[in-house]
Amino acid sequence: MSLITKPRTDKRPPATEPEPTTVAPPPKLRRRPVGVLVSAATIVLGSVLGLMVWSAAGSTTEVLAVRSQVFRGEVIDRDDLVVVRVGLDPAVQAVPASRLDAIAGKRAALDLAAGGLLAPADVATTVLPGKGTSVVGIALAPGLLPAEPLAPGDAVRLVQTPGQQGEVSGTPPTVPAQVVGVHPSETSDKTVVDVLVPAEAAAELAARAATGKVALVLDSRER
């Protein structure tokens, strides 16, 4: 008995290898010069602003400010002042906080408003007019005062004049005084001279000045 082998008819197709997966390359980033410049400028600007803030915080100064209002001529007490820390412009005049003890007890040369910084010119050892003295304003026309410019502190004499057609007989009455200020008149060519005189002579001098028959004599400046 012979065995007959039948040919196999279930042939399978040869196995095929899987196709490789294609990976897309990453997109190329294009650098934009404008964006780079803007970013760099932002970083630089932030650094500069930070430096400015740091510098401002480190350059503050302790100075004196007015806590409560003080009128001209009044004594400045310690309670009238307060120490504040501020950043000052070099052009601003202020009193350092270290001078608090030296300022207390002096007088206000001007009206001091609460909340303002105290300036050196706001403080005076004495004020004008002091006790027993008065300030009188004399309006003098050209020819009744020297051409030499007057300055505060000058010693002068106010002399009664007889007028343009009067006659001088004897020694005319005079009042010794000290120049406090000189101001041009806003309504005429006259010059207004503020003078410091004893309080008892102020009324008489003011009455004479109202007549326009007063001349000013500048005395020696040698001391």
Ordered by where they begin, the domains of the chain are: 61-124 (3.90.1210.10), 133-218 (no CATH)
Whether the predicted pLDDT of 104 surpasses 70? yes
Q: Which of 88-97, 160-169, 182-191, 209-218 has the lowest mean pLDDT?
A: 160-169
The whole-number average pLDDT for the span 105-127 is 88
CA distances from 200 to 171, 182, 197, 208 (A): 21, 23, 8, 14
Alpha helices in the chain (DSSP H): 33-58, 100-103, 199-211
Confidence of residue 160 (pLDDT cuts 50, 70, 90): confident
Average pLDDT, the chain: 80
Interval 145-154: pLDDT, tens: 999 999 888 9
**pLDDT at residue 64 is higher than 90:** yes
50, 56 in Cβ contact below 8 A?
no
The rounded distance, in Å, linking the Cα atoms of 91 and 94 is 10
Lowest mean pLDDT: which of 6-10, 108-112, 156-160, 198-202?
6-10
Query: Within its chain, how far is the Cα of 67 from the centroid?
Result: 18
Omega within 30 of 0 (cis) for the link into 129: yes
* Model-wide pTM > 0.75: no
Average pLDDT over residues 52-57: 55
